Amino acid sequence: MAKITIERVYEPSDLKSAKRVLIDRLWPRGIKKEALVHDLWLKEVAPSNELRKWYGHDRERYDEFKERYLKELRSSPQREALDQLKELANKRLILLTATKDVEHSSASVLREILEAER
């Protein structure tokens, strides 16, 4: 089974053989588009702007954020983007994000879904 990992865009990576997908809705601050090593920017799979702003990386809201985000992922166009990500997850996949708290982020929710649905 191929492994799914999460990496911050600000940290170097030595995994060149994996598909590298940026999953944030907004381009990471301070990084030029040509400087980020990635295969795809799949911003459609990210939480809506409304949900992202409501959550604000407040850990006390994480459980409700996760529930709301899972609901969003069941609807189009996020569902289509998630299906595309599932196809890529058949091989080694790196989910790229700018978030500081990876374990309480949309990236961890996506990894959980992808691993559960294979």
Quote the domain boundaries for residue 33.
Answer: 4-12+21-116
Q: Which of 77, 80, 57, 66 is nearest to 110 (CA)?
A: 66
> What's the number of domains the chain is made of?
1
Per-residue pLDDT tens digits for 96-105:
999 999 999 9
Measure the CA angle with vertex 28, ends 49 and 56; round to 5°: 40
Per-residue pLDDT tens digits for 4-63:
999 999 988 776 778 999 999 999 999 999 999 899 999 999 999 999 999 999 999 999
